[in-house]
Structure 1
Amino acid sequence: MSAEHSGSRRPRTGAPRLTRHVAPGVHRLEHAHVNCYLIEDQGQVTIVDTGLPASWRILPDVLAAIGSSRSAVQAVVITHAHFDHLGFAHAIHQDWGVPVHGHPDEAYLAVHPYRYAHESPRIRYPFRYPGSIPVLARMAGAGALRVRGLEGLQAMGIDAALDVPGRPRVVFSPGHTFGHCALHLPERGVLFSGDALVTFDPYTTERGPRVVAAAATADTAEALRSLSRLDDTEAATVLPGHGEPWRHGVRAATAAAREAGVR
């Protein structure tokens, strides 16, 4: 695993890469084109999304690199329960006893992370966007095809602060999945957008703010409507589920996503 400070360029190999202090008290682990984040708060840690299974093996090293340890991890919060955000949720819950929080509408998907609704057939995308083939292969190499489901998802409310380190406010933003939620840190000006808005789409390899392709989005019209919920946060920095951080304000990001449309 390589590490960098915020502002360094990232390689495109899919190798795990830690960016410390990508936002105040927030660290980013990118692995096989999937992001998960660690929020520090008074010596405790909340993990936002759990990437792919291979990230579990390096999590102790990630924690050590930010000056923390497994005992500091008090909670996991998932933006949604697609396989590439649920990667090590089962392991951290079972082996470390860490509770995993998510919207109640994600409970079934958390148990069955491959049974997700999507508007367009997935099989056509590698033919239409051949650049996605190595991206999807890297994701598979990091365990995308062997994610274990999770029972016992802790239901979280919406439009309220979660009682976990960092106290992120839950922003209901359905469309990508039926229970998708972004997370907002108002005092830090940070929005974890999950896959409600990304800056890299693994299915098309297109970059810049956008909604994920219909191959992995349940309701694209609802996903576009949910961008207004992200606007309401007025966040300065957007940390997406896939792609680089966006530092030009959430409204600029959502405007670009609306212009890009959905593939």
Structure 2
Amino acid sequence: MTMTEVADGVHRFSDAYVNFYVVEGREGLTLVDSGLPAMWTPLERALQGQGFSLQDIRALVLTHAHFDHLGLAKRLHLELKIPVWVHAEDAFIAKHPYRYRHERSRFVFSLTHPRGLPVMASMARAGALKVPGIDDVRHFPGTGALPVPGSPEIVFSPGHTSGHCALFLRERGILFSGDALVTLDPYTQNKGPRIVAGAATADSALNLASLKQLAATKAELVLPGHGEPWTGGVEAAVSIARANGPV
């Protein structure tokens, strides 16, 4: 797993085609999403390399509760008492990580889009098939900033899941887009701004419509759940994602 500082006080962890992030705040660290189970030790070592520890994490905030974003949640909560935040509409998925709506059959999709199979295999090696659910979660408020280090603002952006939320660091011009907008679709390996294929997305039409909430932030830097950071501004990313359309 690699760790890079993508902006002042914001670190990206990337492995098995999955990204999650650490935000430095005055009161400690906030983890945005949590990857997969095998990423625990690499995360611990990467934090130590920056002068931090797992004990410095004050909150885990989930953009959504799919298994590849939920991987460390239960262990962080049980072992370190770290609160886990998620939108109420995704609380069921957080408890049951493999029971979520998607438009297209994953089996059939994998047969017609075999380029995604190496990605799925990489995720499986990182523990994607054994992510534990968690039911002791805190629900997002309707709007505004979360009371966690960094004070990320909630950008409700359903479609990928019913409760998907991007997170906006207004003062830093940074948007964590989760899977509402990615720069790599893990199901096709297509690159560039887009929404995730229907094999993992609940409602592609709603996802595309929700991109207007992301564009409204006018964020300069977009940090997705999959793929490289986008430095060309969120409005340009949204325009390209709309043109790419659903898969």
TM-score (norm 1): 0.92
Q: Distance in 2 between matches of 1:235 and 1:128?
A: 35
Q: Provide the residue aligned with 2:214 in structure 1.
A: 230
Amino acid at match of 2:115: G
Q: Distance in 1 between matches of 2:110 and 2:22?
A: 32
Amino acid at match of 1:214: G
2:81 paired residue among 97, 102, 110:
97
User: Does 2:188 align with 1:208?
Assistant: no
User: Does 2:171 align with 1:179?
Assistant: no
Amino acid at match of 1:56: W
Mapping for residues 19-58 of structure 1, pairs under 5 Å: 19=4, 21-42=5-26, 44-58=28-42
Aligned structure 1 segments of 4 or more residues deviating by more than 6 angstroms = none
Paired residue secondary structure (2:43): helix
Write out per-residue CA displacement over residues 165-213 of structure 1, whole angstroms, 9 at most, x where no aligned residue: 0000010000000000000000001000000000000101100000000
Q: Provide the residue aligned with 2:45 in structure 1.
A: 61
User: Does 2:3 align with 1:18?
Assistant: yes
Q: Provide the residue aligned with 1:153 in structure 2.
A: 137
Mapping for residues 98-117 of structure 1, pairs under 5 Å: 98-117=82-101
Q: Provide the residue aligned with 1:3 in structure 2.
A: none
Contact 1:45-1:72 at 8 Å conserved across structures: yes
Identify unmatched segments of 5+ residues in structure 2. Answer: none
Amino acid at match of 2:96: H
Q: Distance in 1 between matches of 2:108 and 2:49?
A: 40
User: Does 2:232 align with 1:248?
Assistant: yes
Paired residue secondary structure (2:69): coil
Q: Distance in 1 between matches of 2:48 and 2:34?
A: 17
Q: Provide the residue aligned with 1:9 in structure 2.
A: none
Q: Distance in 2 between matches of 1:42 and 1:181?
A: 23
Q: Distance in 2 between matches of 1:204 and 1:85?
A: 19
Paired residue secondary structure (1:131): helix
Q: CA RMSD in A?
A: 0.9
Q: CA deviation at 1:95?
A: 0.6
Q: Distance in 2 between matches of 1:239 and 1:31?
A: 15
- Which range is displaced more, 35-44 or 167-176? 35-44
Q: CA deviation at 1:224?
A: 0.4
Q: CA deviation at 1:57?
A: 2.2
Contact 1:125-1:204 at 8 Å conserved across structures: no
Q: CA deviation at 1:43?
A: 5.8
- Which range is displaced more, 43-52 or 206-215? 43-52
Q: Distance in 2 between matches of 1:37 and 1:114?
A: 23
